Structure 1
Amino acid sequence: MHLHVTRLLLAGSLVLAAERAAAQQPALGTVTGRVTGESGEGMVGATIAVTGTPYGALTKSDGTYRIALRPGTYELRARLIGYTSPRDTVVVTAGGTVTRNFRLARAASTLEAVAVVGSRTEARTVIESPVPVDVLSAAEIKSTGRTETAQILQQLAPSVNFPRPSITDGTDHVRPLTLRGLGADQVLVLLNGKRRHTSALVNLNGSVGRGQAAVDVNAIPASMIDHIEVLRDGAAAQYGSDAIAGVVNIVLKSGADGNLTAEYGRTATTYGGQTVNGTNLVSGVATPVTAQTPSRSAHDGGLVHAALDKGVASSQSRFLHGGVEYRNRGNTNRTLADPRPQTFAEVTNGTFRDLSTGPMNYELGDAAVADAVGMFNGGYDLANGVELYAFGGFDHREGRSAGNFRRVTQNTQTVRSIYPNGFLPFIESTIGDFSGFGGARGKVAGWQWDLSTGYGRDNFRFDVTHSNNASMGAASPTNFYAGTLVFGQWMNNLDLSREVHVGTAGIPLRLAAGAEFRVDQYRIKAGDVASYVDGGAPVLDANGNVVVGAKAIPGAQVFPGFQPSNAVDASRNNAAVYADVESDITKQFLVSGAVRYEHYSDFGSTTTGKVASRLTIVPGFVLRGAFGTGFRAPSLQQTYFSSTATNFVNGVPFEIRTAPVGSDLAKVLGAKPLKPEHSTNYSAGVALEPARSLSFTVDLYRVNITDRIVLSENFTGTAVQNLLRPLGVSGARYFTNAIDTRTNGIDVVGNYGLSLRSAGFVRLMAGYNHNKTHATLVAQTPPELGNQNENLFGRVERARIEEGQPRDNFLASANYEYHDLGLVARTQRFGSVTTRATVGSDNLDQTFGAKWITDVSASYKVLRRFTLTAGADNVFDVYPDQNNNLGNVRSNVAGNANFGIFPYSSFSPFGFNGRFVYARVGVGI
């Protein structure tokens, strides 16, 4: 109740502040004009920015704009990504009107693009920034053919990785995105420059991002995005926690134009059919063999996508842009047949099959996911120059993914009277994500001010279907409500900035300061009793007799429900103040600095700082560099998460308890309270524009992180099992500050444009990222674990951090436009990744080689409004290397491939769906 009252009071203060500021403002003047293209047509959606201020306007459908300003002299800059950015100076008088028109010429260079992220005081072009920033336009976003925002980012920014794991519980439905080879929770996501809340889900099982709670960027509809700014530099001193790897700022559309789009696609692929190494499947002798896996065809993963967005704007500088989107993606399955005995009789008879004749028991691939998303962005300029703004949206998602098949012979997990032939359990998710921000900004006493408040919330409900609780016997239900995770975030910001001139030379000094107050909330709600209870039913053998000493595994198979002991309702608050200063010492030399102080109610205070500089050697040749310190606070999910889940280790199921660090169980195993991560970031680079149609940037970086928070290894040794058996689980794990890491890398981005005059225009782009992460320090295993022959952080988790993401990523694209025809070709080389087993083994450790993935599409405009597009992603039907160890059925050794059932690894950075073909129709409205 107190929190809701506080929100209402703060919202009221925004209105009062706007009204007071309005009373103090003098009479305004007006700047109007029109932005046109090379042939004189009006350019819709172009931005007219007032340099050094937060003011500006977007052009309407005829290319016109209007800005209300206080009297004074201003520099205006016209911007539309893909075109040059001309400037002009205007003198505004009280009550007067001045006209400035702009003409935009087509350009390939993204260095002309203006970004807000990275500076608190002024929007600047990419080449003017002292730190590396990528700007991805709406046209580039549309050209990818992808519908998920995270996949779009992976295709356009070489520093972004978005793996597609499978059979990883909730992670199948909310996949984490990473930047520069670091963690998914070490990249800060902003929406319209405001901090975006994270997902309630913490990724637990064997995937990149394990132990991390990331922002669900797919909850932001791609159809509503104007452009995306990717800051590839640590920025915690500017934006606070989580910005160790960098910042992704997603800017929503605000123009009057709109689009209606419909798309359908599906896979058309052939998988398997590769020669792999393994052990003999049926002889019982672990002799290395070479095997040819069968070849199968698939036409699944059907995608139905529809999106509508439209804006309205008036001559009084008011706008509202809104959109809705529906995306239904069917599941994909890339498993092979199950060669193991399926019945007790087959076990007795020693019946084994090969990978082409056994039953298809499993599903391995993309989960089935359906999203209904909506978002809006609005602004209202008062006559005195104060702007009111608001934006927000919702995402309702339903997902369904499979777990591991339970055979009828697995009598501790399967109730034969319910599933006489075994069963494949499913996790079904219902995810609700919504957010809303509102604020006011203006100018008073020479200061630009921005006061805002906003709230975001993510709910993740787990349901388990087509399953059983083996400990309940025949009384077990088959569907279970397993509980709900909730994360909420309330943000409040006051930002101030102004420019002053110092010294006799009048050197411009841009100042910024501000304060932030944030409240984080986290809840775990328990599931139905049947989803976790130990019903005490006996384990029966093939003849229906009780197996003495055997114990049925309690809880819903694949995902036991959250128990009342897991339930938590936790919150914390965070207060921060910051100050930024930057100055163009000369027209060629810029320096900036930032400092930030934060206090968290649960672990204390921290101070971070950053300095950056840019030197223009000659026009179009810029040197830049930065040094900063950063931090990431332990998330509430990492501090309080608690659950029990089934994990398979070499084919053997273990009920793994994730214990909060403050619990008695975790303390018995040596857990300590979590500390924040701290980092030092170094970057140095060059931005070059040797010709109007050619540009490229090269940036080196190093990121050192201490006290990095990871999820420990699964503790499943005999001693731990004996310790945990009274609790009904066979293993445990917890979060810990286990390692220090060092990441070195380089980013290269180049653009080239070529006008073919009457034959059209070609835009070429290439990008490359290389990064290498090394654990420089691994914490000693606490004696509580060492005495039980366990490792706190071993080979499996170390490989996930150091080798689980591609060290190299190269992408290149070519866009050709000729009148109404558009052709796009894009290729991307994903570098190798490595997975390792608990114990070193040439048969179980594997490096998956680099692969090239190529996408093509063609579009054609009809009647100037309709656009027809057809394309193919992964047109050459490339798959990752197959898992090289097929295991041994007789010895019950699963190998990397789970007895050959899983041909592909979830660590593949591009997934393993194969070729995807689609058709799309769009109409401008």
Structure 2
Amino acid sequence: MKRKSFNKKICVLVLSGAGTMVYAQEGVKENSIDEVVVTTGRTKPRTIITSAIPIDNISAVQLKSTGQVTFDKALTYSVPSFNSSQQTVSDATAHFDPADLRGLGPSRTLVLVNGKRKNQSALIYVNDTPGKGEVGTDLKSIPSAALQNVEVLRDGASAQYGSDAIAGVINIILKNSVGKSTVNLFSGITSKGDGFNIGADFNTGIKVAKNGSLNLTLGYSSQNRTNRAGSVTKDELFGVDNAWTQANPGLGMIIGQPETKVANMFVNFELPTGETGKFYAFGGTTYRNGTSYGLYRTPYWVSSDFGLLTPEGQPYNGFQPEFKTDVYDYNLTSGWKGLFGKWNFDGSATFGSNAVDYVVGNTINTSLGGNSPTRFKAGGHQFSNIIGNIDINRNFGAFVLGAGVEVRNENYQARAGEEASYIGSGAESFPGLQPQNEINKNRQNMGAYINSEWDVTKNLLVGGTVRYENFSDFGNNVSWKGNARYKLLDDKLVFRGSVSTGFRAPSLHQIYYSNVQTKITGNTVANQGTFNNDSQIVRSDLGVQKLNAEKAFNITGGFALKPFKNLTITADYYRIKIKDRVLFSGDIGYKTGAPGSPDTTNPVEVILDNNKITSLKFFTNAVNTVTEGVDFVANYYTSAIGKGRLGVIAAFNYNETKIVDNIAVPSILAENGYSENFFDRKEQSRIISARPKTKTILSLSYDISKFNFNLNNTYFGSVTWQHATDPAKDQTFSGKVITDIVLTYKITKDLKVSGVVNNLFNIYPNVIDSKGDVVTDLGGRFKYPWEVNQFGFNGTTFQLNVNYTF
């Protein structure tokens, strides 16, 4: 998928360890050559139309033309197979927003920065959202202002890059231009008058020494909350209809985007050494502070706040717990690339870290009574990795050979909160992490690969890769990939395809995460315990097997067509079978005895009694899936429409995932009647129907004189929420079209002003139909779906941008 390309004669080729990208100098005539990308493999670059596998190459200009403020949302409105939507009332998940390719969950998309692996986030998604039970990369830590462009490889790539690349690879290319500085100011608000945001970013490129460069990006933004809670005046969840519910429509809830403040700094540095070498360093740091909200504690739910939250002299009216996060993300890579004899060499070291600290505010621990704090440090999580890699490649005429090794150390930590946050009943809304939840675990990984590409003839290319991996905690894996491409009609028509195996190592989070949190179970609010896969309770008492790697088999086939100079069309079919997917089990609670019953013999109920919880969950390999789909992209650009230039991008994705074979229920659970609870219909729907099966993007841009006009229409197909036990209570939320407009006026050569309207026609998802099950919408608290979520529910947003270059 492309918007602009550049004159071949003055392009600069920049190598990186895992890939190459073409950057253009300023002032180069546009639309002169096909874009060149490198996430095809780890040898030499290929243009999109001659690549053996499907790739989207998205410029920073195209991302900005969506009008979206954050990188993950801009990518959602640029790539049909990529999805990320705002989450709400989901603890820390509301500050990360799980994102994925091809509906395969956040864990199965590998993210690179300048071709180097970026660290995963510290957070594992355990709330009722898309991506539940998985770990992804914190894409909100990537500032759009630092990006040159983004390459999205839509094919399995474990053989090239290792674990996590089953669905594909997102390669984020940082700016490296010099000689200019840009200041961008922006502010916006929703049509309902909430969600006000304001921010600024600054980018500059500085020449270093004779031919070196330093590109620096700084940014800060602030976003207010939105609220789209229901307006009921009767609480069906608790069965209460009284003066309080009548006086408080919506039952005190705040449901929408969280309050957020973000600060970031990114750098990209290059310094030539000798005639053929180059030292480089790049990376950045992001700090994000957010506030989201839990379920409102009504006076008939929590009967008193002991005068701690209610202003003196006023009647007790309940309280709104706040869930606050401090997220710190760091990523830094340094290395050297150049020639050793006739071999291209790239050696680098990377450090990456993501940490999230939890604070629960405006709440109490009822067990402490009047001595309770109203703000609790509830602990936190941290994930970091240290990576070293060496990549080499060499051309032997029509044959290219590449090889490399990578070593990686990963560390996962969980820190307990202060005692008041977890003692007794714990802080309302989010009991803090306890000392028994603390963990500090490491694992090591070593990988080595060899790959090659051979231009057998002028038109026929074949390639292959084999990779060996060794993980210190579960053992070895070998992945392979074969691909081919054949050109016809003077390169105007290309047929391409690949066959590969892939794998994903279970994350340290999935192996060691444990916690107790407040959840809605049935029509009651209770504490639910998650036990880690390494614990005696899971491994011995429940007989659950040790987590192992997921295995995948991927087939892709399609064509690329360039019927004339300004039009390219690509279409690709894919099929991905994944065996032994790691899943987060459903709620496993009481079956035969009552809580605390002395004659309970059910082993699950014994665990619940001993730990004073009403249900438990854990991670295990248990599901096999098959995902099939089609990607279509058409790109047209011309300068012959009136006095202006027209660009058109049409893109479509169809994607369907099915659970195949039997779900592997641990024998102890099966013997005690938990087969249906283990991974019920609602949990299954997060895999098979929480993301749209179809998504279509039609983007039009028109440049004339000092004006640029962008009109983007994005169709999000339907999604289906499945009831845990009763198919009659399922609900399908119909597909909707979201229209965005961006109008830019160039006041002077260096000063531009843009007006943005996102969701022009104020489109919302279908309203939840509970069909008599009060848990479906939590007694009317939720008006719009949150467990399956297509595009959020903020409605229309207006934004103004001012951009100055000097």
Match of 1:495 in 2: 391
Aligned partner of 1:670: which letter? G
Q: Is the 8 A contact 1:51 1:123 kept in 2?
A: no
Which of 247, 260, 271 lines up with 2:169 in the alignment?
Answer: 247
Q: Does 1:810 align with 2:696?
A: yes
Deviation at 1:697, TM superposition (A): 0.3
Task: Please identify the structure whose Cα radius of gyration is greater.
Answer: 1
Q: Does 1:316 align with 2:210?
A: yes
Match of 1:481 in 2: 377
Aligned partner of 2:197: which letter? L
Partners of 1:693 and 1:498 in 2: how far apart?
Answer: 33
1:84-483 to 2 correspondences below 5 Å: 84-85=32-33, 112-256=34-178, 257-268=180-191, 298-313=192-207, 316-340=210-234, 351=242, 358=249, 360-411=251-302, 420-483=316-379
Q: Does 1:836 align with 2:730?
A: no
Q: Is the 8 A contact 2:149 2:172 kept in 1?
A: yes
Aligned partner of 2:661: which letter? L
Partners of 2:266 and 2:14 in 1: how far apart?
Answer: 27
Deviation at 1:841, TM superposition (A): 4.4
Which of 440, 449, 462 lines up with 1:591 in the alignment?
Answer: 462
| 1:313-370 residue CA offsets vs partner (Å, 9 max, x unmatched) | 368321110101112111111012352479x9x96xx537888963650011111111
SS in 2 for 1:147: coil
SS in 2 for 1:309: strand
Deviation at 1:157, TM superposition (A): 0.6
1:724-739 to 2 correspondences below 5 Å: 724-739=608-623
| 1:467-492 residue CA offsets vs partner (Å, 9 max, x unmatched) | 11122222211110000101001010
Which of 782, 785, 791 lines up with 2:666 in the alignment?
Answer: 782
Which of 544, 550, 573 lines up with 2:444 in the alignment?
Answer: 573
Q: Report the count of equivalent residues.
A: 780
Deviation at 1:49, TM superposition (A): 2.6
Partners of 2:769 and 2:562 in 1: how far apart?
Answer: 47
Q: Does 1:913 align with 2:794?
A: yes
SS in 1 for 2:77: helix
SS in 2 for 1:724: helix
SS in 2 for 1:127: coil
SS in 2 for 1:555: coil
What do you get for the CA RMSD once the two structures are aligned? 2.5
Deviation at 1:123, TM superposition (A): 1.4
| 1:14-46 residue CA offsets vs partner (Å, 9 max, x unmatched) | xxxxxxxxxxxxxxxxxxxxxxx99xxx99997
SS in 1 for 2:678: coil
| 1:96-136 residue CA offsets vs partner (Å, 9 max, x unmatched) | xxxxxxxxxxxxxxxx1111212211111101110000000
SS in 2 for 1:624: strand
Deviation at 1:795, TM superposition (A): 0.7
SS in 1 for 2:267: strand
Q: Is the 8 A contact 2:235 2:780 kept in 1?
A: no
Q: Is the 8 A contact 1:778 1:793 kept in 2?
A: no
Q: Is the 8 A contact 2:251 2:298 kept in 1?
A: no
Partners of 2:36 and 2:459 in 1: how far apart?
Answer: 18
Which of 778, 782, 801 lines up with 1:902 in the alignment?
Answer: 782
Match of 1:66 in 2: none
Deviation at 1:804, TM superposition (A): 0.9
Runs of 4+ more than 4 Å apart: 42-46, 50-63, 352-357, 411-419, 718-722
Q: Does 1:511 align with 2:401?
A: yes
Match of 1:680 in 2: 553
Aligned partner of 1:401: which letter? S
Partners of 1:725 and 1:480 in 2: how far apart?
Answer: 27
Q: Is the 8 A contact 1:416 1:422 kept in 2?
A: no
Deviation at 1:693, TM superposition (A): 1.3
Partners of 2:31 and 2:247 in 1: how far apart?
Answer: 55
Question: Residues 561, 250 of structure 1: CA spacing in aligned structure 2 closer, same or farther, 3 A cutoff?
Answer: same
Match of 1:756 in 2: 640
Question: Residues 303, 606 of structure 1: CA spacing in aligned structure 2 closer, same or farther, 3 A cutoff?
Answer: same
Question: Residues 475, 340 of structure 1: CA spacing in aligned structure 2 closer, same or farther, 3 A cutoff?
Answer: farther
Match of 2:427 in 1: 556
The unaligned stretches of length 5 or more in structure 2 are 311-315, 593-603
Partners of 1:354 and 1:829 in 2: how far apart?
Answer: 38
Q: Does 1:745 align with 2:617?
A: no
| 1:479-521 residue CA offsets vs partner (Å, 9 max, x unmatched) | 10000101001010000000114xxxxxx11000010000000
SS in 2 for 1:150: helix
Partners of 2:90 and 2:102 in 1: how far apart?
Answer: 23
Match of 2:598 in 1: none
Q: Is the 8 A contact 2:21 2:38 kept in 1?
A: no
Which of 565, 573, 597 lines up with 1:700 in the alignment?
Answer: 573
| 1:271-312 residue CA offsets vs partner (Å, 9 max, x unmatched) | xxxxxxxxxxxxxxxxxxxxxxxxxxx211111121100112
Partners of 2:710 and 2:309 in 1: how far apart?
Answer: 53
Q: Is the 8 A contact 2:506 2:549 kept in 1?
A: yes
1:842-853 to 2 correspondences below 5 Å: 842=728, 844-853=729-738
Question: Residues 804, 193 of structure 1: CA spacing in aligned structure 2 closer, same or farther, 3 A cutoff?
Answer: same
Partners of 1:412 and 1:903 in 2: how far apart?
Answer: 26
Aligned partner of 1:306: which letter? A
How many percent identity over aligned positions? 32
Q: Is the 8 A contact 1:57 1:317 kept in 2?
A: no
The alignment's TM-score, normalised by the length of structure 1, stands at 0.81
Question: Residues 748, 356 of structure 1: CA spacing in aligned structure 2 closer, same or farther, 3 A cutoff?
Answer: farther
SS in 2 for 1:837: coil
Partners of 1:731 and 1:575 in 2: how far apart?
Answer: 38
Q: Is the 8 A contact 1:46 1:58 kept in 2?
A: no
Q: Does 1:717 align with 2:590?
A: yes
Question: Residues 56, 478 of structure 1: CA spacing in aligned structure 2 closer, same or farther, 3 A cutoff?
Answer: closer
Question: Residues 683, 416 of structure 1: CA spacing in aligned structure 2 closer, same or farther, 3 A cutoff?
Answer: same
Q: Does 1:520 align with 2:410?
A: yes
Deviation at 1:758, TM superposition (A): 5.8
Question: Residues 653, 360 of structure 1: CA spacing in aligned structure 2 closer, same or farther, 3 A cutoff?
Answer: closer
Aligned partner of 1:337: which letter? S
SS in 2 for 1:665: helix
Q: Is the 8 A contact 2:88 2:255 kept in 1?
A: yes
Partners of 1:631 and 1:851 in 2: how far apart?
Answer: 35
Q: Is the 8 A contact 1:484 1:527 kept in 2?
A: yes
SS in 1 for 2:784: coil
Deviation at 1:605, TM superposition (A): 0.4
Aligned partner of 2:263: which letter? A
Partners of 1:62 and 1:580 in 2: how far apart?
Answer: 37
Partners of 1:858 and 1:62 in 2: how far apart?
Answer: 23
Deviation at 1:430, TM superposition (A): 0.4
Partners of 2:24 and 2:85 in 1: how far apart?
Answer: 38
Q: Is the 8 A contact 1:702 1:744 kept in 2?
A: yes
Which of 697, 701, 708 lines up with 1:822 in the alignment?
Answer: 708
Pick which of 793-802 and 222-231 moved more. Answer: 793-802
Partners of 1:51 and 1:190 in 2: how far apart?
Answer: 14
Deviation at 1:656, TM superposition (A): 0.9
Question: Residues 239, 690 of structure 1: CA spacing in aligned structure 2 closer, same or farther, 3 A cutoff?
Answer: same
Q: Is the 8 A contact 1:466 1:479 kept in 2?
A: yes
